[in-house]
Amino acid sequence: MTESHRRPLAVFDLDGTLADTAHRQHFLERKPRDWSGFFGAAPQDPPLERGVRMAVEAAGDCEVVYLTGRPERCRRDTLAWLAAQELPEGRVWMRGNQDRRPARVTKLETLERIARGREVRMLVDDDELVCDAARRAGFPVVRADWAAASAELKDAQEREGRT
């Protein structure tokens, strides 16, 4: 077993936790929502310094992994963004391209899979419903409350299962 597999895990969300999505929220205010535009603008997300700092600090004691509601088709852009922000290397868990279940369901399912045989030191996420579900399942949670809340994004996460 490698050293990284013995270290506890620190699990970080991306949008609203590490990445500031405010500049692309307008894509979700349209009817119908412009998902291609929303995800296409993700590479230009400014970093959320508090979340980035927390991930870098966590890497001292933990293996950092990323759990996002972004669809798998965004993997290349997501990996490039993480590298550009000089975030710790770590596995990126993404939603299947056709998975439209609420984030609180998909993320908890994936978190439970990630945690098999591993200690999860913390989950850091901005979605209140994801945080509540993870807490109920016994995971230690840090609610990322440092980005501006978006009603459109919350609705998209819950009703449309898109992020």
Helix, strand or coil for residue 10? strand
pLDDT at 38: 94
Report the amino acid identity of residue 133: A
Within 13 Å and on the Cβ side, how many CA atoms surround 132?
A: 5
List the beta strands (DSSP E) in the chain: 9-12, 63-71, 92-95, 120-125, 141-143
Beta bridge partners of 10: 64, 122
pLDDT per residue of the chain (163 residues) written in tens, 0 to 9: 454 558 999 999 999 999 999 999 999 988 898 999 999 999 999 999 999 999 999 999 999 999 999 999 999 999 999 999 999 999 999 999 999 899 999 999 999 999 999 999 999 999 999 999 999 999 999 999 998 776 666 666 566 556 6
The pLDDT value given to residue 158: 60
Radius of gyration over every alpha carbon of the chain, rounded to an integer in angstroms:
15
CB 12 within 8 A of CB 64: yes
The pLDDT, as a whole number, for residue 6 is 84
Q: How far is CA 98 from CA 34, 85, 95, 101, in A?
A: 16, 28, 8, 9
